[in-house]
Chain A
Amino acid sequence: MTGAPLDPDAAAAAKGEAEEQARIQRSLGWHLLWRTLQEQKRALIWGVAIGITWTAAKVAVPQLTKSAIDQGIERNGPLLAWSVFIGVAGLATGLLTAGRRYLAFRESRWTETLLRERIFAHIQRLHVAYHDKSQTGQLMSRASSDLQQVQQFVVMIPITLSNLGQLFAVTLILALTDWRLAVVALAPLPFINVASRRFSSRIHPAVLEVQNEQAQLASVVEESVSGVRVVKGLGTENVQFEKLRQEADDIRRVSLRAASIRSRFLPAIDLLPSLGLIAVLGYGGHRVINGDMSIGDLVAFNVYLTMLVWPLRNIGMMVALGQRAAAALVRVHEVLSTQPAVRSPEKPRSLPARAGEAAGAVQFESVHFGYDSEREILRGFDLAIAPGESVALVGATGAGKSTIVRLLLRFYDVTSGRIMIDGVDLRRLDLGELRRNVGVVFEDTFLFNDSVRNNIAFAKPDADQSVVEHAARLAGAHDFITQLPDGYNTQIGERGYSLSGGQRQRVAIARAIVADPRVLVLDDATSAVDPSKEHEIRDAMRTVMAGRTTIVIAHRPGTIALADRIVLLDEGVVAAVGQHRDLVESSERYREVLAAWAVRDAVPAGGD
């Protein structure tokens, strides 16, 4: 054997390093939780204090019962007093248990709530490159299921502490009463803890597998229902039924496996305390007969032992919960520790005041940029746009048109070169100020599940109704909005009224108008609209472009014609500049690009 690929020592070192890394991550995760809990210190301390008082009351009950039996019943002592004492202790445990529960749950929910707000706020400020790389679902689970794991752990903190107290107190009392019997009676109990821990770690993967199989069945059902036309058209019901039967069999198989794990552990966990009770009856009984112990002690032993069952199980559970919470905290910490790559400068400059129509000059100076170091998208892009001028950017897919928009908004920073608005480098501007002065209508119009009014007034939530209406009129949206069931107050989106593509686009344009930006960017704003309806949007665009610096990304001649000047972008540089007619005559590439887009328009991508 020659040429072993890896030196075993190096492999071990690499592994050790990875473990070290994971350990550091975990400690950072716990640190995050610790800092969060600091803010709730008072309530948590109260919770723990109440929990410990509860332990005292709880532990007192069997002692009182013992005394009642030994002194009240066996020796004809003051029975009523003892029984009142027990009742009072009961009242105390009742009140304290309620208090402990309330504080534990409220505080754990509060931790969850605070962390969720922190995650949300952080995500809102993270640079777009981060969002381009991460999936919405993943970020969602950081702020939902991961925090749930944390909550389930935090709620157990006061409960576990008082359980530990109870464990300690009971063991002490038992040992003081009769240490020999205590040893015999307590011997089986640690196994409860061991068994619950092992059970948690075994059942968890089994449950995950059940969920996995359920998901597979769901996807068969899903495709059979959404593809019902194909299934019926081709008459292939049997194929789908066969698939479903397999999945149903799989679910049954893995569910029964999980059941067999439960059957192995749960009855054992239930019955282990009985072994202690048997020991108490047998060995303790002998000691009572021999006169070494009272019957009251025997009963107290019995009650104490049953009292230990829950704490022991909980501590077993707590370990499993803690591990899951640790993993969740690592993931949460990962998000929170990501620094926004695009930030406002320490001492931002501001844009020169808007004097009349002279604002909104945009200048790109030999801009280079690539999303990764291997492939440059822009390779020395130069363009100067005068205030009030409108420019159409035309180019093939991937030419870098949308990239230019992203750079202008500082979603990304240029690799080299610079971009200036009214003579100020974007990187020297406050991000908020920059973005308030560049208004974009994106290709995919994202509208919020909110009223039409709030969607239009998005950039200025406090804007007057008159401002909103004025913007809607300019965007050609006022007429259809007044036709909606509740006018401007109509809720739109998932839970509300659904607008057509053209209507959505006009609302998005109105949204950009409300912002009243120096520079307006229309990024393929008409592409999602049916060509026969495009003219409606085009009218709206013409109105809003008047007198404002505008960059239009377009490929339909009608839309391109709205601009004063056309810039052909190819291979990351400006390939040609001019009027439509001139470019059609002079530029072969321009003709190719437009022809390619025209073909695409004619054959809309269908399918979904």
Chain B
Amino acid sequence: MGAGVAPEDQLDRTQTRRVLGRVLRMAYPFRRTAYVALGCVVVTTAATLAAPILVRHGIDAGIRAGDFFELNLSVGLYLAITALAYGFGRLQYVFLNRTGEAFLRELRLKVFAALQRQSMAFYDRNKAGVLVARMTADIETMGELIQWGLLQFLASGFLVVLAFVVLFSLSWQLTLVVLIVFPVIVIASVKFQRDSNTAYLSVRERVGQNLGTLQEGIAAVRVIQAYAQEDHQIKRFERSNRSLFDSHVRSIRISTWYFGLVEFSGVFAASLVVGVGGWLVHRDTVSLGTVVAFILLLSSLFDPVQQLSQLYNGVQSAAAALHKLYAILDHKPEVDEAADAIDLPARGELIVQGVTFKYQAGTQPALQSAELIVADGERIALVGPTGAGKSTLAKLMARLYDPTVGSVSYGGVDLRQATLASLRQRIVVVPQEGFLFNGTIRENVRLARVTASDAEVEPRCRVSAFSITSSGCPKASTPKCASAAAVCRPANVSSWRSAVRHSLTRPCWCSMRQLPTLILAPRQKSRLRSNA
């Protein structure tokens, strides 16, 4: 019951089929392990069902006939089958997870690569949090299914089908008796699955709201105390907390009747089998062993239906997650490499010709008929008031966006015709924000050229006039940027980080690359100039 699917996320039949088709295609490289896993599941399930049949044989041919050999044979076979079930039971976990994890790894890499291929415009449109959630929460939803649910889902499915086959071959009359109760369980399970999904979603929403109130109450505790409003806030929290409790109780009610019904149906079916079966035994239509086998098999029939209904939500939310992921995989980047792309020449003029650019269709253009020629080796400064389009022009010159009208070319090659690798090698924009990546300072500086040696990194950092020791962070030799918070006192960290951001990384990046073309955002210029 761990997952729930919002109505808007539920897929219709064609969507489900499409998602399923793509999963199979993507899993194709791992088909061998998948087949082995499925084989193991079938063998294990069959072994589970074989047990009651052996008991039946032991009773009818052994005990009731007084035949010790037949009884011992049943016992021996039962032991053998249990050993078999254990062996294949272990293998089914191993292979199913191998397949699943290989698939997930593939999916993670593919989606991440697709994200990285997307243009800046894509990132402008989509919130960072949502994109991160795709790569994390959505894929983890599937991970959970693979780790816990998939095996049970498959095994339960097999079990129901095989159990019916076995029951039918044992006695069609008693199978009909079971079929009186079975639909009740199925219908109840379907209803339960729907209701519990709704209830789960409402609980989840309340949990979120309650956490929000809780968090607010803690974060704002100074304001609350300053205005002596503790009591009012406590009442406010109680309201939200009680409403969470109410929605919990509603969801408990839904499961209460269901589990009661399930338990009743199981025993009720047994009572029918005993009654009708006993009558059939008296008429010599079935054997006593068959009746016993039926009683023992009933749980193999009813339990899987329960499990299926509980796993169904998990499967559904995994499908919904996959659907969203495929949407990213399918999204064609606005700025993409042409099929016949060529490398940019090593040096050349950067020419902006008649460029008009709109961030969104129908809005005011950010640039209009811009013309600019930057000669090889020339340094130019772009000056203008806020909103004049300086940054926009810079982004277009590095092909973070494509112009709406006009063209940008380098060494005579239109940027749209250039390979992206050579483009990034020749033209670099150092953005205004000095974003720091997790890792050591050295790794951050090296970001621009991974192959750089330590000997190359350090002198360049010196050029950027940044001295770590002056920042007041005690362990300064190669502190980790992310763990710096643990090393430095909080007050220092922010200043330390911003110091690193502003004076270290960007200039370092710049000098790390022997770049023909470099575009700098405004703020760092003064510092760079002084070091030039």
Contact = CB atoms under 8 A, between A and B. Distances in A.
A86 B270 contact: yes
Interface stretch (A299-307, A537-545, A551-559): A299-307
A285 B82 contact: no
Given A73-B281, A256-B97, A436-B228, A65 B216 contact: no
Given A214-B136, A230-B431, A285-B75, A219 B438 contact: yes
A261 to B, nearest CB: 9
Nearest to B251: A105
B55 A252 contact: no
Interface in A58-100: 61, 65, 68-69, 72-74, 76, 79-80, 82-87, 89-91, 93-95, 97-99
B214 to A, nearest CB: 6
B255 interface: yes
A233 B215 contact: no
A494 B219 CA distance: 14
Contacts of B482: 219
B268 A267 contact: no
A234 B222 CA distance: 43
Contacts of A286: 68, 71
Contacts of A179: none
B108 A411 contact: no
A109 B109 contact: no
B431 A101 contact: no
B267 A87 contact: yes
Nearest to B249: A106
A358 to B, nearest CB: 23
A187 to B, nearest CB: 15
A233 B428 contact: yes
Nearest to A254: B101
Interface in B134-153: 135-136, 140, 143, 147
Interface stretch (B24-32, B110-118, B304-312, B348-356): B110-118
A445 B224 CA distance: 12
Chain B CB within 10 Å — which of A73, A86, A239 has the most? A73
Contact of B429 (A140, A233, A442): A233
Given A116-B241, A606-B498, A244 B109 contact: yes
B416 interface: no
A234 B275 contact: no
A83 B86 contact: no
B22 interface: no
Contacts of A530: none
B93 interface: yes
A283 to B, nearest CB: 9
Interface in B461-512: 482, 494-495, 497-498, 501-502, 509
Interface in A217-243: 217-241
A380 B432 CA distance: 46
A449 interface: yes
B282 A73 contact: yes
Interface in A271-309: 271, 274-275, 277-278, 281-282, 285-286, 288-289, 295, 298-299, 302-303, 306
A605 B496 CA distance: 11
Interface string B368-385: 000000000000000000
Interface string B249-274: 10011011101110111111011101
A221 B112 CA distance: 8
Given A116-B241, A232-B400, A124 B288 contact: no
A218 B132 contact: yes
A116 B264 CA distance: 36
A278 B79 contact: yes
Given A61-B267, A69-B274, A299-B292, A235 B63 contact: no
A84 B101 contact: no
Contacts of A240: 116
B271 A87 contact: yes
B75 A241 contact: no
Contact of A221 (B58, B136, B259, B448): B136
A84 B278 CA distance: 13
A interface secondary structure, majority:
helix
Interface in B265-315: 265-268, 270-272, 274-275, 277-279, 281-282, 288, 291-292, 295-296, 299
A124 B217 contact: yes
Contacts of A89: 267
Interface in A238-270: 238-241, 244-245, 248-249, 251-252, 255-256, 258-260, 262-264, 266-268, 270
A329 B463 CA distance: 55
Nearest to B131: A225
Contacts of B214: 116, 120, 140, 143-144
Given A73-B278, A223-B438, A446 B219 contact: yes
A431 interface: yes
B93 A94 contact: no
Nearest to A74: B288
B218 interface: yes
A90 B97 contact: no
A236 B430 CA distance: 12
B245 A244 contact: no
A362 to B, nearest CB: 16
A569 interface: no
Contact of A87 (B90, B101, B136, B268): B268
B78 interface: yes
A97 B223 CA distance: 49
A607 B51 contact: no
A277 B112 contact: no
A245 B109 contact: yes
A225 to B, nearest CB: 5
A274 B74 CA distance: 13
Given A69-B274, A106-B252, A214-B140, A241 B112 contact: yes
Contacts of B220: 446, 448
A117 interface: yes
A102 B225 contact: no
Interface string B402-435: 0000000000000000001101110011111111
A442 to B, nearest CB: 7
Nearest to A432: B228
A90 B271 contact: yes
A440 B226 contact: yes
Contacts of B248: 105-106, 109
Interface string B83-106: 001100111011001100110110
Nearest to B248: A109
A234 B448 contact: yes
Given A73-B288, A607-B502, A442 B222 contact: yes
Contact of B264 (A91, A288, A295): A91
Given A86-B267, A93-B267, A123-B218, A295 B64 contact: yes
B434 A128 contact: no
Interface stretch (B10-18, B162-170, B232-240): B232-240
A125 interface: yes
Contacts of A237: 116
A585 to B, nearest CB: 33
B242 interface: yes
6 contacts: A69-B291, A94-B267, A109-B249, A124-B233, A136-B218, A295-B59
| Ranked 10 nearest A-B pairs via Cβ | A235-B424, A90-B267, A94-B264, A267-B89, A98-B260, A83-B275, A263-B93, A259-B97, A86-B271, A227-B435
Given A90-B265, A95-B264, 16 more contacts: A69-B274, A82-B274, A83-B275, A94-B265, A97-B263, A101-B252, A102-B256, A126-B221, A221-B132, A241-B113, A275-B82, A285-B74, A286-B71, A306-B296, A436-B228, A606-B502
